[in-house]
Structure 1
Amino acid sequence: MKISYIEMHQLPKMAWGAIVEKDSLHVTVYHGKNVETQKDFFVEGAWEGAFAKGRFDQADFFNGSGGRIKQKKYKRTFMFSTASHTLDRLHTIRLKNKLIVSNSMPFALHLAHARLNPRYLDYEKDLNSILKGIYRYKDWIPLKGQKKLYLHYYCNLVIDKHLNIEKEKKMEIAPFEHYEHYRQILSCTLKQFIENAKDPLRKQPYGIVTTISNGYDSAACAVLAKEAGCDTALSFDRPEHYAEDCGLSIAQQLGYSSIILKDAQKYLDNEQLIETAFVSTGELGSGVVYTSFEEEMADNIVIFGEEGDEFWGKDRSDANDGFRFPDDVMAGVSMIEHRLRVGYIFTPLPTFGGVQWKSLWKLSNSPEMQPYSIGGSYDRPIPRRIVETAGIPREAFGMNKKGVGINYRYDSFSRLKERMSKASFHSYQQYYKHYRKFDREHFQRWLRYLFDTKNVYLHVALRKLGIESNLTMPNAESETNPGAPAYLIHWGVQEMQKRYRNAFERKYKKYLNLLQNENNRSSAVLSEERSPYSEEIMAEIGRRSRE
């Protein structure tokens, strides 16, 4: 049993794909340049522990993914670990005598020579089912040709020599007793996390930047990040509705010396189809605005306030220990492929201690937090206390809920055209025209979708008339839009798979040319250098010939 590493600079910096062989349990890992590789483990990301020990599987706060050899008495297994939240995941595909594991769905599909089924229109619903929690979500999606791709969140995967997969629970974290207890553990964990990311033993140490707005969550995260040594804050100041949420003033008051403001719509000028990275995850585009900050994010920890509305919300009486958000409609996974390509550690700070959401909810509603409760539907005492005790006036933040990002879920074609780059819209339009279908099933989907989402469109209409509404919005069970956005995931994954395929072709171009010539028996083909890659190359040639 051993790990063989094949570094490929053509791959996204933090992407990895592993092929686990039956019986020998030999693991071959193809990976980008920012993936840390050691004799007994590999990892992309950081955790609150000593880097050299590689015990990310036992961490309370692990952001990233990795794998390691696990020795238990006389039994050796291999373990893969997910992040300590449900905004990221691992993907597995089972073949005859192999198991494919990857932190990227398109990469896993490439290594398995598999594809999404263009006739299956429930991928968004399936991938959003994680909102039902880690015990109830649909853990697989169908592929073309009867294959399945399995999805794994918030767990460790233990693989034995027969390629059986055992899901091992993450380590339990103790309930938070009171505010100071929570605040101290949160700050201490963040500092240890940063130390791990900066460890000199890494081939790629990381700096730190934070996002900031004048809402609750990112402002509180900016306070915590500043205390831990962060001095760069990122915020949007245009277009107009983003300017209203800009965190410039708060960042200045906190003492940030580097405050970078950018346009949230910069992505509209791209010609590289960058929207594909965000729709291919299963969430239709939410994080695409952050492409404005790629230069600042690269090779850094990037602090986000993601899921603060859940874990820090006072009115979330549905608090549970399974990351279950049944009333939400978007899973928050859109940054997966983007972080792998740009090379940053996606760090949603409010998710720390997420399995103790019940104790956080009790804390938010406790008497000691009452002075930091302002009432109304937008009321989060925990982040308010963090920010106010840092010297920021009450009226300067957390007054109106705004948020950033876009989502294509409810868009028509005219709306998609406005909110996608010209190149991406044209590419998607061609894909849609090729695969769209109009039949009885499609008509029935439209009826279900309109019934599920009628309040969304009514809410928009009332707002245009200046009327506030309190209508019930769709949730994780709602029907996928069978209209313009119906094939965004299929299109995004196909385009991302092309990039992974091209990475292999560029890496092995000379071998591909030699192997395609049946009469060429050059010693170069039979060389020791070529042998570790021969199976992948031959399979790739076979796949291309089938196309």
Structure 2
Amino acid sequence: MTLRHRVRPHLPPLAWLLEIDGTPQNYRLHCGPSVVIGASGFFEGAWPGELAAMDFASAAEVFGSGATFTGDAWIVVPPSHTLEPLFSVRDGTRLLVSNALPFLLAHRDDGLDPGFLAYHSRLYQVLKGLAAAPIRIPSRKGAEIAVHYYHNFHIGPDLTPTAIAKPAAPAFDSFESYRDYLRSTVDGALRNAADPARARPYRPLATASQGYDSPAACAIAREAGCTEVITHGFARRAFGVRDPDSGEAVAAALGMKATVIDRDAYLQRENVEAPEAEFLCHGLEGGDVHFLSFEALLPHRVLFSGFHGDTVWDLHKPANAVIDRGDTSGASMGEFRRRVDFFHIPVPFIGVLRHAEILAVAESAPMRPFALGNGYDRPIPRRIAEQAGVPRQAFGVAKKAVTVLFFDLNIGLDERLARSTRAALRTFAAGWRLRPAQRLRLAVNALVARGVDLTRLALKKTRLGIRLGIEKHLEPVLSSLDLATLDTPATVMMLHWAMSTIVTRYAAVDQAPEHEFVGAEPSAMTTLEAAESLAV
């Protein structure tokens, strides 16, 4: 016996939507072909446990999402990081839960509310981490969509999602205990991903740069058997200068094969229609679009990255137990990952709720030989990489960035949109209508946002804030203004365009001719009824 489900071959392989009607026992699962389905649960991704056991709900670290059915309730499991959430919406007696917001909207013939002008500001609450969960956003049809990060949640007879804590990672009292936990977690997740019971096993692939975080993640992955690295040759272009950021030296020191691809290569592709839509639809900047350049190498891979290392491993960041983040890097890859079909392990998120202990380890006496005593200082990843054989001069020299900046004031930066995206945006803009009051509100936001950007630029160039000793007091004010004015004419229009583009793609699959569900007989609905009643 297996869960009652319908695999749709043309869905993104890792997308899923769980539809519960009236009671938890009356469910229907719609999913792509790479979602693993067992007797009482389903999952897309990997975790450090046996695939056949499907025990992901009892794991502290999961890299993907799914749910398990207890007979009278569901335990739904988001990833153990805040780069991808799950979404739920109540629709009368029915509850929909999905790992893809466009899928959820398409399934109920819905969309974003054009009258709501604060999607970015609302979705950016993830930067506050779990303190802001669950985030709630409205839909065009007036539904309230809950955005669930990190915590598992229980769905009982009343169909109300109730957060429950994930199992805790073990305590870290030394560098060795922390490093060993990273190693064992990665090793277990890779064994799970490569399980021969999968239709197609997933093989490891690591990212590397000249910073701190990805070289450390790369070293951990190498110990678990990863032998391949992907890297961009250069960071962002500014003032005509291309700053080298290749991780080739890191890969060579670890005995790994490196493939170097230009971060802008995706702009030359003719086989991807409006590529930015897949990233911008998350409402979180879309800056990870450069990963499109790696697409040919990513199917059926487990991708290792260093996302969030700039907080967890930095000596100058205060400890927090809610995954408070400083940026949205890595948070706009969800739709791309589900379509291309790869798992993602952002290594710094492993054991992340024990940030205070990780910071204490970094500040301990045994770590002093690996501390540089400057403003860019991360002894834990430095020790991980150096003890794996990476020479000190090959990484962690200066902070660089490869994310694409679509909306900020980017003086000297050459950022573009793909030709097909520009054409699609022109068509969408021709029919985009806002009331005068809405246009005024967004224009004021844009004016304030530009002022914040100019102020930051002036402070950076003149170092006036440091000289006057007001930088620590000024930055919280600027950050608050920044978050409050994220929704501007450009960002709002591009989000609605991106979401409508991706919703349309899901709807084309969701409304295709139906087939019967596979699995156990429904308790409150016959198989024939289930097959005939999927259209909302």
Q: Tell me the TM-score normalised to structure 1 length.
A: 0.87
Mapped to 2, the partners of 1:128 and 1:167 lie a distance apart of 20
User: Percent identity over the alignment?
Assistant: 28
Q: Which residue matches 1:36?
A: 36
Superimposed CA distance per residue, residues 112-162 of structure 1 (whole angstroms, 9 cap, x where no aligned partner)? 222101222211111110112213246210111321111001111211123
Superimposed CA distance per residue, residues 474-496 of structure 1 (whole angstroms, 9 cap, x where no aligned partner)? 35733124132222221111110
The code of the aligned residue for 2:498 comes to G
Change (3 A) 1:452 1:375: farther
Mapped to 2, the partners of 1:462 and 1:162 lie a distance apart of 53
The code of the aligned residue for 2:55 comes to R
Q: Which residue matches 2:263?
A: 264
CA contact (8 A) 1:239 1:263 kept: no
Q: Which residue matches 1:492?
A: 498
Superimposed CA distance per residue, residues 499-538 of structure 1 (whole angstroms, 9 cap, x where no aligned partner)? 1111134455x99xxxxxxxxxxxxxxxx9975332224x
Q: Which residue matches 2:146?
A: 150
Mapped to 1, the partners of 2:456 and 2:427 lie a distance apart of 32
Mapped to 2, the partners of 1:203 and 1:19 lie a distance apart of 25
- Greater relative contact order structure (CA < 8 Å, 6+ sep): 2
Mapped to 1, the partners of 2:2 and 2:24 lie a distance apart of 9
Q: Bigger shift: 493-502 or 258-267? A: 258-267
| 1:106 maps onto 2:139 in alignment | no
Q: Which residue matches 1:184?
A: 180
Instruction: Identify the match of residue 80 of structure 1 among 76, 79, 82.
Output: 76
CA contact (8 A) 2:235 2:245 kept: no
Q: Bigger shift: 337-346 or 419-428? A: 419-428
Matches within 5 A, 1:135-214: 135-137=131-133, 139-214=135-210
| 1:427 maps onto 2:459 in alignment | no
Mapped to 2, the partners of 1:442 and 1:332 lie a distance apart of 31
The 3-state SS of whatever aligns with 1:13 is: coil
Q: Which residue matches 1:544?
A: none
Change (3 A) 1:353 1:444: same
CA contact (8 A) 1:10 1:507 kept: no
The 3-state SS of whatever aligns with 1:23 is: coil
CA contact (8 A) 1:128 1:329 kept: no
Q: Which residue matches 1:410?
A: 408
The 3-state SS of whatever aligns with 2:488 is: coil
| 1:228 maps onto 2:224 in alignment | yes
Change (3 A) 1:453 1:58: farther
Matches within 5 A, 1:313-462: 313-317=314-318, 319-325=319-325, 328-330=326-328, 332-410=330-408, 418-437=415-434, 439-451=436-448, 454-460=451-457
Per the TM alignment, residue 281 of structure 1 is displaced from its structure 2 partner at its CA by: 1.1
Mapped to 2, the partners of 1:417 and 1:486 lie a distance apart of 22
Matches within 5 A, 1:527-542: 531-537=529-535, 539=536
Change (3 A) 1:388 1:167: same
| 1:480 maps onto 2:486 in alignment | yes
The code of the aligned residue for 1:346 comes to H
Per the TM alignment, residue 252 of structure 1 is displaced from its structure 2 partner at its CA by: 1.0
Change (3 A) 1:310 1:240: closer
CA contact (8 A) 1:130 1:138 kept: no
Per the TM alignment, residue 418 of structure 1 is displaced from its structure 2 partner at its CA by: 4.9
Q: Tell me the TM-score normalised to structure 2 length.
A: 0.89
Mapped to 2, the partners of 1:421 and 1:315 lie a distance apart of 38
Per the TM alignment, residue 205 of structure 1 is displaced from its structure 2 partner at its CA by: 1.6
Q: Which residue matches 2:13?
A: 13
Mapped to 1, the partners of 2:314 and 2:44 lie a distance apart of 30
Matches within 5 A, 1:85-100: 85-100=81-96
The 3-state SS of whatever aligns with 2:70 is: strand
CA contact (8 A) 2:58 2:166 kept: yes
CA contact (8 A) 1:2 1:25 kept: no
Mapped to 2, the partners of 1:417 and 1:7 lie a distance apart of 42
The code of the aligned residue for 2:210 comes to N
Superimposed CA distance per residue, residues 438-470 of structure 1 (whole angstroms, 9 cap, x where no aligned partner)? 63453344434543552423444687xx76676
Q: Which residue matches 2:520?
A: none
Change (3 A) 1:415 1:389: closer
Mapped to 2, the partners of 1:116 and 1:186 lie a distance apart of 39
Mapped to 2, the partners of 1:467 and 1:120 lie a distance apart of 39
Superimposed CA distance per residue, residues 31-83 of structure 1 (whole angstroms, 9 cap, x where no aligned partner)? 11110011211100111111111111121210100011125xxxx21111101
Superimposed CA distance per residue, residues 272-298 of structure 1 (whole angstroms, 9 cap, x where no aligned partner)? 112111011121221100111112111
CA contact (8 A) 1:128 1:331 kept: no
Q: Which residue matches 2:308?
A: 307
Change (3 A) 1:352 1:333: same
Change (3 A) 1:438 1:154: same
The 3-state SS of whatever aligns with 1:313 is: coil
Mapped to 2, the partners of 1:441 and 1:488 lie a distance apart of 16
Per the TM alignment, residue 172 of structure 1 is displaced from its structure 2 partner at its CA by: 1.6
Per the TM alignment, residue 95 of structure 1 is displaced from its structure 2 partner at its CA by: 0.7
Equivalent pairs counted in the alignment come to 510
Change (3 A) 1:240 1:50: closer
Change (3 A) 1:433 1:255: same
The 3-state SS of whatever aligns with 2:25 is: coil
Per the TM alignment, residue 426 of structure 1 is displaced from its structure 2 partner at its CA by: 2.0
The code of the aligned residue for 2:52 comes to A
CA contact (8 A) 1:91 1:102 kept: yes
Per the TM alignment, residue 178 of structure 1 is displaced from its structure 2 partner at its CA by: 0.8
The code of the aligned residue for 1:269 comes to Q
Q: Please give the root-mean-square deviation of Cα atoms over the aligned residues, in Å.
A: 2.6
CA contact (8 A) 2:18 2:29 kept: yes
Mapped to 2, the partners of 1:292 and 1:332 lie a distance apart of 15
Per the TM alignment, residue 392 of structure 1 is displaced from its structure 2 partner at its CA by: 2.1
Superimposed CA distance per residue, residues 395-431 of structure 1 (whole angstroms, 9 cap, x where no aligned partner)? 221010002211323269x999952101112212332
Mapped to 2, the partners of 1:198 and 1:416 lie a distance apart of 41
Q: Bigger shift: 18-27 or 336-345? A: 18-27
The code of the aligned residue for 2:118 comes to D
Change (3 A) 1:101 1:138: closer
Per the TM alignment, residue 367 of structure 1 is displaced from its structure 2 partner at its CA by: 1.8
